[in-house]
Structure 1
Amino acid sequence: MKKTEFDVLMSIKEKGQCDADYLARILYKPLDTIEESITALKNGGFILDGQLSKKGEAELNTHRIDNAVILSAGMSTRFVPLNYEKPKGLLVVKGEPLVERQICQLREKGIQEIIIVVGYLKEQFEYLAEKYGVILIETQEYNTRNNHASIWAARHYLKNTIITSSDLYFEENIFQTYAYDSFYCTVYESGKTAERGIETDENDKILTTMYGDKCYDTWVTLGYAFFSTQFSSRMIEILEKIYDLPETASKFWADIQDDYLEELYMYAKRCDSEIIHEFDSLEELRAFDDKYLHNADSQIMHNLCCLLAARENNIIGIESLKKLKYSMFKFRCKGDTYICDVNPDEQEKVNYQGRVYYQCHDFMEGSLKLFKMDKNIKIGGVYYTDTENELMQLYDYSKDFKDYHERSLPLCAAENIISPFANLPLNFGFQERYIMNNTYSFNMDDNFIGCEKLFPFYQKISDVCGRIFGAKYTDPRPFTGMHCIDMITKTICKPGSKMMILDKDYGGHASVRPVVERLGVKVYDAPYDLEENDLDYRAANEMIKKLEIDYVLLAPSDLIKPLNVEQIDTTHCILLWDCSQIMGLIAAGLCSNPLKTMKNIILFGGTHKTFPGPASGLIMTNEKYLHDMMETEINPKYLRHSQMHQKISLLFALIEFEKYGSQYMSHMIHCSNYLGSRLREKGYDVADVHGQISRTHQIFIRCSKEEMNTIYNNAYKLEVTLNKKHKALFYGYGIRLGTQEIARYDWNDAALDTIAEVLIHLSDKDINIDEVKQLIHLLPPKTISYTFSDNIVNQFNNLSIYS
């Protein structure tokens, strides 16, 4: 039995429903995949009349989960100050102790044998053995090792085993009675995340994991996991081999899985992010259960309130100082910053991050001591005030950011730089001002006095977009390209309607599916022709007609040729065309503009990629009925303040592009093809379509997984901004480059030759970092071209509110 068929069978058992639409939604699978699985289960005799047959019940029972292990040994050092008094798993959240809630949820799924691994404050868990009949086992290494030590302590119980942590809170009972194979719960995280991101195949098998800056708009592991008997056996074997190695001590069990992912494979169990809650700090718990804002049931918090004549909700910004001393934490109260030591010694002051905190309170019996930051701190003979220190930090952060982007080699296809001319309005004071409605719905009765001074800018944006894009109706109110998708779908799409999208494996934006599915829209993947790097339009049009598709939403992130969307038959559907990546090419007339030739189309996108404007959004259409659906709904229903400084900066960029955009885009495409050719000559497998490497700003390098990771890791060290990819569009693995920013500097072929040499070095496992840095230093200065002269810019400078 295939995994999806098993998941369908189990869901029918648990949910009592055999509705394909419902199952597709909760399993995060395409409807046709679910329908095929249901048909296969019926034909195999596993389903009868929408319910499990005896054969189906028997099949599930061969996959029954044996037991569960709850990890509760850790010290939860970030959860100060509550962790000094009670293990996090015993905190009462919304009326229930966290660990007891999970025990009850496991028992509801028929899992009777429950093992709890304890360590820190272990005695506080002892009542659970009598109350629930759970098994308590101890690890004594909780303070020197990470949670792999708890897995090791429970190794004799590992078989078909759920592994969960006592500090998790599940809104719904997402534990399972049966499991097909090992899995980890995952949720979708929009934007940047510090969590452990994953990439999977079509069956949800985890192929690779990533962390930190590499994670953006992705599924991440969060919640509990399930070890199959095979997984458990192999994990124990690996732990036996590496347990005593010094580098193992700090690893989570998931880190060990990452190191042996091919042997310790898992599948992703996709869950709604609103169901799984993990609290890393008291501040996060307060946001979930406001009881903890006012009464955390903590003697330490009570004592602090007495000492400072404060309420608990006055104590904020709580931060562990475990690296300084385990018993110390920092917090703010009523504008002052303190350090608290719950196990104080004789010291009278604390030095931390260049600041001096002096003892200000000594609690009775010496059980708690407070230190307060001196407002005038002497460092190296110079006095710095608290505020000045904050300013110094802000200066350092800003300088670090600025210096990084001055040094880096910018080859990220998702970013661009705007000119001093387009930057001008950001200093004119527009940001703080309001205007309601858009160009076509403006009226003073709905507005603030003074907004009429902003209206001409909106009108001018419409005028310029009419000239550049041929748009009758323009809406610049959204903040980003993704915000455009959000605003458009909320205002024109109806729950239950059908939508065709571009799958992420073929370059589609990964956020589209979860955004539209949450609106109740049924999603279908557009058929794709890999050889053409484009949709299979014949099959797509047949699918639109057969399934009565209402909307086609195409949001390509990866493309070396513009999609030929004009081949889509929009007689009975609406095309939503996210042209973020090629907006500049359309505006320059270097690729076709479907807005001028097609009916029932909305053209939109982010304005900071090939179009070199601020990070903003732009919606355009020539259909009055579509315009009317959005015009009065976006504002004020879904958006109140439209960030006028962004909009006016966008207007300046539009006017700049009208004059210089064609030259800029032509040079950008030249850069893509010249650089791609040089890389191909030097041995890289550079993709092309019918012999042309690129008709956009992007270059695709196809390579093995190992080479991809080598290139990426070396690029990270050398501050070369690029992306690695794992999708069918790259025939497996690859690197995506973008030339839009280097083209904006008008770098010539000699500079591109140097860039090619740098990129070739990135595939070298034994790269000489210093040698390649010297190559990067040979590149020309980053002087923005294709813009108005300094004389023009200087005419506006005296308008700045800061001048």
Structure 2
Amino acid sequence: MKPEYFEDLISLCTDISNQENKLLPLCAAENVASPFSKIPLDTFLQEKYIMGGVMEYQNHSNFVGSKKLFKIYELLSRQCNKLYGCKYADARTLSGVNAVMTLLMSLFSAGDTILISSEECGGHGSMPKICQRLGIKTIEMPYNYDLYDFDYCQINEILNSQKIEGILICLSDIIIMPQLNRINLPEDCVLIFDATQILGLIATKSLENPLKWFNNDQKFILMGATHKTLPGPTCGLIMTNNLKLAQQFDTLINPDYLRNSQLHHIFSLILTLMELEIYGEKYCNAVINNANILGNILTTYDFKVIKVPHQYTYTHQIFLSMPQNSAEKFYDRCLDYGVSINYRNKYIYKTCGLRIGTQEVSRYGWDNTQMLIIAKILRDIRDNNSFSQDISDRINILSANKQLCYTIEKEYFDIIYNALHYS
């Protein structure tokens, strides 16, 4: 018997698929996971539960088979140690924001004061709202808009003169690695760096690893979502070298703040990290190279591309600065053509602009040739007030060439697939 809304479902699936196939993906917040990474997502792991933390197996109140499932946590820890050098790794939280909320609830109390990255300098807009709801007081971190980094002298003055329990840095917009080692971190102050946008770049040493800037006694946490430059499933990955600090939230995450730790996603993340171990250096070099090539070409087409010392960006993102009215029109036209891009009304863009990311287009093996085509498409979208079929055709031709690169060979895909599906 056919469900009542089955025809609507078919129509919706067709529309979404057609849209995705024609999309020119320049959104800095999305990426595409490989078939290898997605092997666990349709397996029995989706239905499995395991209770307790990741530091040691807890037999009490657990389920049949949980002891074997705990080895998934151990494998993730080994893989993260290899790529990030961390002593503790945890991917039980469901997303980057969920990970931040869990850490805030575990490590701080109502009435505590933390420094926080402001939305104007690229900070995640939800963080002040979450802190307010939890009763945590916030102070915006001073920022140097000429250097595109924080004002560490002023930050250290605040830490010196006031009782600050924590620092929360969550940057959605980031073209240079913040030099967090310049923060004089007090002994009892927790520094959480949400590196969602650049976790892949850190893993492959394309950017410095901030875990190396802090000793094992300092309360530093590197965390983030795992679906940007780290092209995996949606998880919240939490890492630290301070095991005493980890003990404060390890057994609170599960079972107190969530129950189902989504083991299929965690296993998928492990496969993504293994893929990144082999192909990540080439992939991330391509991401950063493409971003700077695109930035340079767009500059020759009279786009105002924001530049940091020596190049346009050290990440997957480039910033286009535009007057608000022009930015809104350009953004709307991009949407009409199926070009995924982010509108930004933040001071870091010199009041307003657009954010472009090259992490997904680089996954398809695109290089200088495609960056030139993209730049011309963006130029022509900007310069044409009416819809152009020629522009649309060029986008469709380019978007038809989406063949995933930097992924595991079929031989190894088959081994893992068969082991999870047919054993």
- Decide which structure has the larger Cα Rg and report it: 1
Matching of residue 448 in structure 1 with residue 63 in structure 2: yes
Of the three residues 423, 426, 441, the one matched with 2:38 is 423
Of the three residues 719, 726, 749, the one matched with 2:345 is 726
Structure 1 residue 801 displacement after superposition: 4.8
1:479 counterpart residue number: 94
Contact kept? 2:286, 2:367, Cα under 8 Å: no
What is the distance in 2 between the residues matched to 1:741 and 1:409?
10
Superposed CA offset, 1:322-379 (max 9, x none): xxxxxxxxxxxxxxxxxxxxxxxxxxxxxxxxxxxxxxxxxxxxxxxxxxxxxxxxxx
Of the three residues 653, 667, 677, the one matched with 2:296 is 677
Structure 1 residue 765 displacement after superposition: 4.7
1:654 counterpart residue number: 273
2:198 counterpart residue number: 582
1:786 counterpart residue number: 406
Contact kept? 2:343, 2:355, Cα under 8 Å: yes
Q: Which has the higher contact order (CA 8 A, sep 6+)?
A: 2
Contact kept? 2:54, 2:250, Cα under 8 Å: no
Matching of residue 629 in structure 1 with residue 248 in structure 2: yes
Of the three residues 137, 145, 149, the one matched with 1:530 is 145
What is the distance in 1 between the residues matched to 2:150 and 2:261?
35
Q: How does 1:257-272 map to 2 (within 5 A)?
A: none
For 2:202, the aligned partner's letter is: I
Describe the SS at the equivalent of 2:275: helix
Contact kept? 1:718, 1:769, Cα under 8 Å: no
2:234 counterpart residue number: 615
1:28 counterpart residue number: none
Of the three residues 396, 410, 414, the one matched with 2:25 is 410
What is the distance in 2 between the residues matched to 1:403 and 1:454?
38
2:54 counterpart residue number: 439
Gaps of 5+ in 1: 1-384
Name whichever of 397-406 and 415-424 sits farther off.
397-406
What is the distance in 2 between the residues matched to 1:797 and 1:465?
22
Of the three residues 412, 418, 421, the one matched with 1:798 is 418
Structure 1 residue 401 displacement after superposition: 1.8
What is the distance in 1 between the residues matched to 2:349 and 2:407?
35
Matching of residue 638 in structure 1 with residue 257 in structure 2: yes
Superposed CA offset, 1:667-715 (max 9, x none): 0000100000000011100000124101000010001112101211111
Contact kept? 1:761, 1:767, Cα under 8 Å: no
Contact kept? 1:710, 1:765, Cα under 8 Å: no
Structure 1 residue 406 displacement after superposition: 1.4
CA gap of 1:473–1:797, structure 2 versus 1, over 3 A, is closer
2:225 counterpart residue number: 606
Structure 1 residue 800 displacement after superposition: 5.8
- Which structure: greater strand fraction? 1
2:366 counterpart residue number: 747
For 2:276, the aligned partner's letter is: F
1:549 counterpart residue number: 164
2:109 counterpart residue number: 494
Contact kept? 1:687, 1:701, Cα under 8 Å: yes
Matching of residue 595 in structure 1 with residue 211 in structure 2: yes
Matching of residue 736 in structure 1 with residue 339 in structure 2: no
What is the distance in 2 between the residues matched to 1:564 and 1:424?
37
Describe the SS at the equivalent of 1:545: helix
Q: How does 1:246-257 map to 2 (within 5 A)?
A: none
What is the distance in 1 between the residues matched to 2:162 and 2:18?
53
What is the distance in 2 between the residues matched to 1:799 and 1:758?
45
Contact kept? 1:438, 1:458, Cα under 8 Å: no
Describe the SS at the equivalent of 2:208: coil
Matching of residue 519 in structure 1 with residue 137 in structure 2: no
Structure 1 residue 564 displacement after superposition: 1.2
Describe the SS at the equivalent of 1:509: coil
Contact kept? 2:287, 2:316, Cα under 8 Å: yes
Contact kept? 2:323, 2:353, Cα under 8 Å: yes
Matching of residue 772 in structure 1 with residue 391 in structure 2: yes
Contact kept? 1:430, 1:644, Cα under 8 Å: yes
Q: How does 1:52-67 map to 2 (within 5 A)?
A: none
2:72 counterpart residue number: 457
For 2:121, the aligned partner's letter is: Y
Contact kept? 1:428, 1:799, Cα under 8 Å: no
Structure 1 residue 597 displacement after superposition: 2.2
What is the distance in 1 between the residues matched to 2:137 and 2:314?
33
Gaps of 5+ in 2: none
For 1:696, the aligned partner's letter is: T
Structure 1 residue 517 displacement after superposition: 1.7
Contact kept? 2:53, 2:253, Cα under 8 Å: no
For 1:507, the aligned partner's letter is: G
Q: How does 1:48-197 map to 2 (within 5 A)?
A: none
For 1:600, the aligned partner's letter is: K
What is the distance in 2 between the residues matched to 1:662 and 1:623?
27
Describe the SS at the equivalent of 2:271: helix
Contact kept? 1:613, 1:650, Cα under 8 Å: yes
Matching of residue 394 in structure 1 with residue 9 in structure 2: yes
Superposed CA offset, 1:441-473 (max 9, x none): 322223101112311111000011111111101
Matching of residue 716 in structure 1 with residue 331 in structure 2: no
For 1:574, the aligned partner's letter is: V
Superposed CA offset, 1:376-420 (max 9, x none): xxxxxxxxx552x53333232223222211110000001111000
Q: TM-score, normalised by structure 1?
A: 0.51
What is the distance in 1 between the residues matched to 2:8 and 2:410?
32
For 2:382, the aligned partner's letter is: S
Structure 1 residue 799 displacement after superposition: 4.6
What is the distance in 2 between the residues matched to 1:746 and 1:584?
17
What is the distance in 1 between the residues matched to 2:348 and 2:390?
33
- Which structure: greater helix fraction? 2
Runs of 4+ residues over 6 Å off in structure 1: none
Describe the SS at the equivalent of 1:449: coil
1:558 counterpart residue number: 173
Percent identity over the alignment? 34
Name whichever of 432-441 and 715-724 sits farther off.
432-441
2:183 counterpart residue number: 568
For 1:782, the aligned partner's letter is: K
Contact kept? 2:57, 2:67, Cα under 8 Å: no
What is the distance in 2 between the residues matched to 1:440 and 1:559?
32
For 1:596, the aligned partner's letter is: K
CA gap of 1:495–1:667, structure 2 versus 1, over 3 A, is same
CA gap of 1:796–1:395, structure 2 versus 1, over 3 A, is farther
For 1:595, the aligned partner's letter is: L
Contact kept? 2:159, 2:186, Cα under 8 Å: no
1:706 counterpart residue number: 325
Describe the SS at the equivalent of 1:788: coil
CA gap of 1:731–1:621, structure 2 versus 1, over 3 A, is same
CA gap of 1:552–1:419, structure 2 versus 1, over 3 A, is same
For 1:723, the aligned partner's letter is: N
Describe the SS at the equivalent of 1:751: helix
For 2:271, the aligned partner's letter is: F
Contact kept? 2:52, 2:255, Cα under 8 Å: yes
Describe the SS at the equivalent of 1:477: strand
Contact kept? 1:509, 1:555, Cα under 8 Å: yes
For 1:692, the aligned partner's letter is: Q
Describe the SS at the equivalent of 1:454: helix
What is the distance in 2 between the residues matched to 1:668 and 1:738?
9
What is the distance in 2 between the residues matched to 1:791 and 1:467?
24
What is the distance in 1 between the residues matched to 2:10 and 2:161?
60
What is the distance in 2 between the residues matched to 1:589 and 1:796?
27
